[in-house]
Amino acid sequence: MLAKRILVIDDEKNLCTVIKVCLENIGGWQVLIAQSGSEGLLLAEIEVPDAILLDLMMPDIDGMILLHTLRINSVTQRIPVILLTAKPQPIDVNQSSQLGVLGVISKPFDPVELADQVAQILKWK
């Protein structure tokens, strides 16, 4: 069986490296990295990953706008999305659930626990 593929869309390079190492080494998944919203949208359309971890605050495209764009695209609309956020204010639960967000992981997170958090949200275990 092929490993599940997760696309991480986050503009923080070092954080992407940590996420990639954790999810590949602990979760056993293949991790694709996009360091901008526009790159993430393109990779999502080309690669059609099994799930997306999406940062909410990025310089080129806001995470919620990118999520909306993913949802109206027939190629990417069914990809499960987990939000990554360091936002101090709460996420709008109604808006995120309407856009198909499965869960939220707050930054900073425990790298050792990350793969378990993702697997639990996606029901991969």
Q: What DSSP string describes 22-87?
A: HHHHTT--EEEEESSHHHHHHHHHHH--SEEEEES--SSS-HHHHHHHHHHSTTTTTS-EEEEE--
Averaged pLDDT score across all residues of the chain: 91
pLDDT tens figures, 99-117? 778 998 999 999 999 999 9
Q: Specify the CATH number of the domain 5-122.
A: 3.40.50.2300
Whether this prediction's pTM lies above 0.95 is answered by no
Mean pLDDT of 70-76: 96
Q: Write down the pLDDT at residue 5.
A: 98
The residue whose two tokens read 């990417």 is 76
Instruction: Kindly list the domain boundaries of the chain, sorted by start residue.
Output: 5-122
Q: Write down the pLDDT at residue 96.
A: 63
Q: Examine the pLDDT at 95 and tell me if it is beyond 80.
A: no
Mean pLDDT of 82-96: 71
